[in-house]
Amino acid sequence: MYVLGIGCYYHDASASLLKDGRIVAAAEEERFTRKKHDISFPTNAIKYCLESQGITANDLAYVGFYEKPLVKFERVLHQHLDGFPKSYKTFLSSMPSWINQKLRVMRKIRKELKYKGEVFFIEHHLAHAASAFLVSPFKESAILTVDGVGEWSTATYGVGKGNSINLMKEIRFPASVGLLYSTITAYLGFSVNNSEYKVMGLAPYGDMNRKTNPYYKKLQKVIDLKEDGSFKFDMSYFVYHHADRMPSKKLSRMLGGPVLNRDSPMGKREQDIAAGLQLLTEDIITKMLKHVHKVTKQKNIVLAGGCALNSVYNGKILRGTPFKRIWVQPNASDGGASMGVASYIYNCILGKRRNYHLKEAFLGPSFTTQETKRFLDANGIVYSEFESERDMVKTTARLCYENNVVGWFHHGMEWGPRALGARSILANPCNPEAKELLNSKVKHREKFRPFAPVVCEDDALKYFACDKPVPEPTDFMLMVYPIWKRWHKTIPSVTHVDGSGRLQSIRRHQNWQYYDVIKEFGKLSGVPILINTSFNIRGEPIVCTPRDAYKCMMGTGIDCLVMDRFLINREDNRRDMWDSEKYAKD
């Protein structure tokens, strides 16, 4: 039995396909259209999911959508009525997309897929909760979902047991942890729904002491936070409920100046604001989690919603709350909710037993050796073929050790926003210049942002102060942990200013080529850790196909590309060189 889950029209449209309760394919639309965070109906992602199984929409038993558009529309109408006349402009600008698109989801599904079967619409936070619990390793668990906003909910908690989910309480719009984080992201001049993680990366440069950070104290004025983690906002600090901006003038005054623009330098004040926000967010979610534990008495916690991508906080949960085990799926924000709705239909509506645990994120398109070779030959690309898998592993490790920037393309594309060793750029973390090298050659990103280390799971505790055993979300780069001090100088390029690392752990069964390259690099350097950063041109989504990967290498300063059994050097293909920076958008 096949069930298809769909999410679109807000952020990160995606599709997920279940076969007899197991996720067999899942991908975000942006990877196919090459438009970052594409929100449009996921025609290409659906096509990939169906083709990967050799089926058509006629073979689908059910289709599900990750929210209830009518209920959301009701909230939007309320919001605009409450804010009238200030909301008049945003009301007018938002209506066409509601009338032409968002309220016509059913019709769109039927037309695009030529599908005549049943379509289920699931509340957005229930889809988030399902995406976290139903594919988790836990038979029973507490569930917490925290995002910007769904229909009305901005956070919910409850319990998952077997194949049932019971959401017990919610926090409703306009009070929203996600929208608070996005408001400060906008204030600092970053793009909303895109750059929240940059604020998280900026925070450790600021004062992370609650007693001395002046902005932590100031930001507390915007929120009335109760001991049980519930809260209300003083809405005079915000305008997102009636305008297409987020911070109010009052908030700007409190933070000491007008909203910044994207090129503003990030000085002490901005760093302290980011730190104050991170501290306040951690206060709120800690209170929520302690309350959820008290009410549910569960040992396990699963998280979903955009706030579950706050890996800095995730790494503190097992130490700061009574929960013993944690699980977060790799695509924890809206992009992953299509997986939740498909699982919810199968397990909760149809009442089928759970028989699946998502252990790896490689659910997107993959390419055979023949397909890859055909692409290289058809385009006259100069390449060499490795003699063996062993040769491929050893050569890749050596190239990294010799301080090359290496494009790495193996397996099915990652599900979720992080590169996890299927579409990654690898480099040497022991090289103190690696950060500058990557920034000048490829990433061109803000200097304050850290690069992430990848380590084999069996080596993780030696280098990082991880929870024991290493939690599975660490495999999805969702947990930041301190790097043991004795290694700071050995791996300077992945040690953040506060001594932390946003590590990815890798288990050999997930992607043995990647695992073996890291181990082999360890033999050369003495440290089995690599830099792993996403394989993309600045402002574009992570690469999907061999063509995307080759184009990315030729447009940036990536030295070589290890793709399946093939090694392609940039210098050998000079006629295809171009400068991606001339076209970069972000």
Least spacing, CB of residue 451 vs Fe ion, in Å: 28
Nearest distance, CB of residue 95 and Fe ion, angstroms: 22
Of the pair 101, 569, the CB lying nearest Fe ion is at 101
Cβ closer to Fe ion: 38 or 334?
Answer: 334
| In the block, residue with structure tokens 């301190």 | 482
Q: How many CB atoms lie within 10 A of CB 399?
A: 22
Residue closer to Fe ion by CB (options 8, 466) is: 8
User: Which of residues 11 and 411 has its CB atom nearest to Fe ion in the complex?
Assistant: 11
Alpha helices by DSSP H, 29-103: 30-33, 43-52, 69-83, 88-100
Least distance (Å) between residue 146 CB and Fe ion: 9
| Between 191 and 220, CB nearer to Fe ion | 191
CA-CA-CA-CA dihedral for 225, 227, 230, 236, to nearest 10:
-10
Window of 14-22, 23-31, 111-119, 330-338 that interacts with Fe ion by CB under 5 A: 330-338
Residue (128 or 551) nearer to Fe ion, CB: 128
Question: CA 440 to CA 433: how far, in whole Å?
Answer: 11
Q: Which of 272, 334 has the CB closer to Fe ion?
A: 334
Per the DSSP assignment, residues forming a β-bridge with 300 are 325
Count the site residues for Fe ion by CB under 5 A: 2
Question: CB 333 → Fe ion: shortest distance, Å?
Answer: 6
For residue 306, the minimal CB distance to Fe ion (Å) is 6
31 versus 124: smaller Cβ distance to Fe ion? 124
Query: Cα–Cα distance between 415 and 365 in angstroms, integer?
Result: 10
Chain-centre distance for alpha carbon 131: 14
Beta bridge partners of 423: 409
For residue 363, the number of C-alpha atoms closer than 13 Å in the C-beta half-sphere is: 30
Query: CB-wise, 279 or 332, nearer to Fe ion?
Result: 332
> In this chain, which stretch among 147-155, 201-209, 340-348, 401-409 interacts with Fe ion, using CB under 5 A?
147-155
Pick 334 or 548: Cβ nearer Fe ion: 334
- For residues 166 and 150, give the distance between their C-alpha atoms in angstroms, rounded to a whole number: 17
Nearer to Fe ion, 155 or 460 (CB): 155
Report in angstroms how near the CB of residue 399 gets to Fe ion at its nearest: 40
DSSP 540-559: SPPP-SHHHHHHHHHHS---
Q: How far apart are CA 384 and CA 382, in angstroms?
A: 7
Binder among 147, 207, 459, 520 for Fe ion (CB under 5 A): 147
Decide if 430 contacts 401 (C-beta within 8 A): no
Alpha-carbon gap, residue 333 to 376, rounded angstroms: 35
Give least dist CB 216 to Fe ion, A. Answer: 26
- The CB-of-460 to Fe ion minimum distance in angstroms stands at 30
Nearest distance in Å: CB 123, Fe ion = 11
Least Å from the CB of residue 322 to Fe ion: 26
Q: How far is the CB of 148 from Fe ion (least distance, A)?
A: 6
By the rule CB under 5 A, 123 interacts with Fe ion: no
Q: Write the DSSP string, 121-159.
A: E--HHHHHHHHHHTTSS-SEEEEEEE-S-SSSEEEEEEE
Residue 506 DSSP SS3: strand
Please give the structure tokens belonging to residue 385.
């073929």
Taking the least distance from each CB to Fe ion, the nearer of 79 and 424 is 79
- Locus of tokens 């709120």: 284
Which tokens is 137 given?
Answer: 């390793």
Taking the least distance from each CB to Fe ion, the nearer of 138 and 173 is 173
Q: Does 196 bind Fe ion (CB under 5 A)?
A: no
Query: Which residues are bridge partners to 143 per DSSP?
Result: 158, 302
**Residue range at the interface with Fe ion (CB under 5 A); choices 50-58, 163-171, 289-297, 328-336:** 328-336
Binding mask 277-316 for Fe ion (x = CB under 5 A): ----------------------------------------
From 39-47, 141-149, 378-386, 419-427, give the range in contact with Fe ion by CB under 5 A.
141-149
Q: Per rule CB under 5 A, is residue 334 in the interface with Fe ion? A: yes
Q: Using CA of residue 393, residue 398, residue 400, residue 404, what is the dihedral sign?
A: negative
Nearest to 477 by CA among 519, 531, 403: 531
User: Which among 114-122, 142-150, 183-191, 557-565 is the span making contact with Fe ion, rule CB under 5 A?
Assistant: 142-150
Give the binding range for Fe ion (CB under 5 A) out of 101-109, 144-152, 359-367, 402-410.
144-152
Minimum distance, C-beta of residue 128 to Fe ion, in the bound complex (Å): 6
- Of 250, 274, 254, residue with least CA distance to 189: 274
Q: Can you tell me the distance from the alpha carbon of 586 to that of 579, in angstroms, rounded to the nearest whole number?
A: 15
Residue type, 347: N
**Residue of this chain nearest to Fe ion (CB atom):** 147
From the CB of 445, what's the least distance to Fe ion, in Å?
Answer: 26
User: Strand, coil or helix: what is 432?
Assistant: coil
Phi then psi for 548, rounded to 5 degrees? Answer: -60, -45
Contact segment (CB under 5 A) with Fe ion among 327-335, 339-347, 447-455, 549-557 equals: 327-335
Between β-strands 481-482 and 500-501, what pairing exists: parallel, antiparallel or unpaired? antiparallel
Residue ranges in contact with Fe ion by CB under 5 A? 147, 334
